[in-house]
Chains A and B, each alone.
Chain A
Amino acid sequence: MFPKPIEKQPRATQITYQAMLPLALLLWLGPLLAVALFSVKPEADFTNANYWGMPSSFEGAFNYGQVFFNSDMPRYLMNSFLITVPTVIGCVALSSMTGFALGIYKFKSNLWIFFMFVAGNFVPFQILMVPVRDLTLELGLYNTKTGLVLFHIAFQTGFCTLFMRNFIRALPFELIEAARVEGISEWRIFWYVVLPLMKPAIAALSVLIFTFIWNDYFWAVVLTQGAESQPVTAGITSFNAQFRAAYQLMSAGSIVAALPPVAMFFLMQKHFIAGLTLGAVK
């Protein structure tokens, strides 16, 4: 193990290390902790310029109550879920098939199609912006959650295909050969042999795509406008405009908006990290 395990170091080093850990963490998350502190302060603290002192009273319940019951926030959160969940399902469905096709079959254009997916995934959003917005307008899906979902599914399929294909490549090919010898049709091989083995990859992708889509801001701004379809990332700017200078509410709103992917991460940590490394770092 590198660096040298701390247990093999002198006692003094060990104690220093143990003491430094929480300090480093405090420094690292400092800006975020500041927002958390803001979110439980009463409004009076800001007018009295008591920014960093102890809250003069604990108003967490009131501030978060305002966010949930006195703003469009619940709607934005709901929209985010209604955009994110179908996208995750769509991406996983499409990419397990494309990944299977590119991972199992040998045909001439295989590698080229694969590279097309990979390259498309790296393209800057701006070059897609105008045509995708037009297409969405033409389909009558501008300012709808469906319009956003369809685009997200299509775009994330690039990344998901990369991931799924590499995962399927690493499966034992003899399994498929054996199934073919048995005369099982290709579709059944996909459904009954390969798909069950892909569960870890599906889990990893789901968490990852959930986070990506939940945190998307650019496309939310380009393809949606109002509270009826905007996800929380775009909604929070309207929310902040509504509560301008009410720092305690803006902080509470930000924390609420950030929470679902954080919860997802802590619940599915192992899968999340497996996904981030694209399966390349074993």
Chain B
Amino acid sequence: MTTAADIPEQESWFHRNQQRIAPWLFLAPGLLFFMVYVIIPVFQSFNLSLYEWDGLGAAEYVGFRNYEDLYWEWSDRDAFYISLKNNLIWLLLYLLAIPAGLFIALFLNQTVWGIRLYKSLFFFPFVISQVVVGLVFTWFYDPTFGLLNEFLGMFGMGPLNVLGDERFVTYGIIFAGLWPQTAYCMILYLTGLNAVDPEQIEAGRLDGAKGAKMLWHIILPQLRPATFIAFVVTIIGALRSFDLISIMTQGGPFGSSRVLAYYMFEVALSEYGFRMGYGAAIAVILFLIMLCFIAYFLWSMYREEKGY
């Protein structure tokens, strides 16, 4: 079969089509995995949110009833309302990590002896698992021995049970979350500051700009890529908040520190019951909120790709 004439024939066919086929061969394994575990499940969850299902028996189609129930929870100021409200608080307060990170980055952007070690140590909290961060801050807030209350005690205040008080609990958890997130933003800005054009700074100095003015008009515009990434990771991080809540309060006291991500888990997979369909409906709401941001991020990336 393998005559001399056959081989070049075959090779040239493959050669001609190689550049069209190759990308798909390279994509195939990754795309397959991603489809099966990420893309298809998103649609399955959408579908599941129209059913009532305990995870074992047969699923019963209920149309939009899960969403109706969520609506009632909303208008009764029940769990769903609290979760959504807390999500909003998370989203807004978490953004403080960006200016805080910038502030620390500016503080550390020097060349004194040992500064590299300082930078790494300041970055430390980000590398630690959120589970450990949660434990650390649970003790920090502890009403009997926590550092916070030792500190308040020095001024004759307290004791304050941050995690046991419905008024403070969410803020307490967010504060814990800001710790690693600020470290992340700091490192983004430190790398950004490295790349700032020294000539523009000199030009600014000659024009008499300094301090805050210099920062606002000359430095920040050059830090835009860093700011963009900081925004992306902070917003995603805020909406994903689960670990800290699960470790520090398990949604309590009386469900007052729940967010959608935690509430969904509680509904679908904890001892409170296995209402998969209802959980999926909550997840869909969270997804739709996230989608607004995802769309914006993709839009920004698209414009950059097209070179506007």
Contact = CB atoms under 8 A, between A and B. Distances in A.
Interface of A: 1-7, 17-18, 21, 24-25, 28-32, 34-35, 38, 49, 51-52, 94-95, 97-98, 100-102, 104-105, 107, 110-111, 113, 115-120, 122-133, 135, 150-151, 153-155, 157-158, 161, 183, 185-187, 190, 211, 214-215, 217-218, 221-222, 233, 236-237, 240, 247, 250, 254, 257-258, 261-262, 264-266, 269, 273, 276-278, 280-282
Contact of A154 (B38, B140, B187): B38
Interface string B3-23: 000000000000100111011
Interface string B208-242: 00100011001100000110110010001001101
Contact of A217 (B130, B187, B201, B283): B130
Contacts of A258: 127-129, 132
B187 A153 contact: no
Given A154-B36, A281-B195, A128 B41 contact: yes
Given A127-B284, A158-B34, A254 B246 contact: no
A153 B131 CA distance: 22
13 contacts: A17-B110, A25-B122, A97-B26, A101-B23, A118-B297, A124-B240, A124-B287, A128-B42, A154-B33, A215-B128, A258-B129, A280-B228, A281-B225
Interface residues of B, number: 103
A45 B48 CA distance: 53
B19 A105 contact: yes
Contacts of A218: 242-243, 265
A282 B246 CA distance: 37
Given A98-B26, A186-B18, A215-B130, A35 B195 contact: no
Contacts of A1: 109, 111, 193, 196, 198, 201
B127 to A, nearest CB: 5
B121 interface: yes
Contacts of A24: 107
Contacts of B305: 111
B166 interface: no
Contacts of B30: 94-95, 97-98, 157, 161
A7 B120 CA distance: 22
A157 to B, nearest CB: 5
Main secondary structure on chain A at its contact with chain B?
helix
Main secondary structure on chain B at its contact with chain A?
helix
Contacts of B179: 31
A118 B191 contact: no
Contact of A123 (B38, B123, B135, B137): B38
B26 to A, nearest CB: 4
Contacts of B31: 98, 113
Contacts of B18: 185-186
B111 A5 contact: yes
Contacts of B196: 1-2
B121 A280 contact: no
Q: Which 9 pairs, one residue from A and one from B, show the smallest C-beta to C-beta distance?
A: A154-B37, A131-B41, A101-B26, A215-B129, A98-B30, A105-B23, A186-B22, A51-B145, A154-B33
B83 to A, nearest CB: 11
Nearest to A154: B37
Given A128-B37, A222-B269, A281-B191, A34 B229 contact: no
Given A2-B201, A3-B106, A132-B41, A186 B19 contact: yes
A17 B210 CA distance: 19
Contacts of B251: none
Contacts of B45: 127-131
Given A3-B109, A111-B302, A150-B37, 7 more contacts: A1-B201, A18-B112, A94-B30, A101-B24, A125-B242, A129-B265, A217-B246
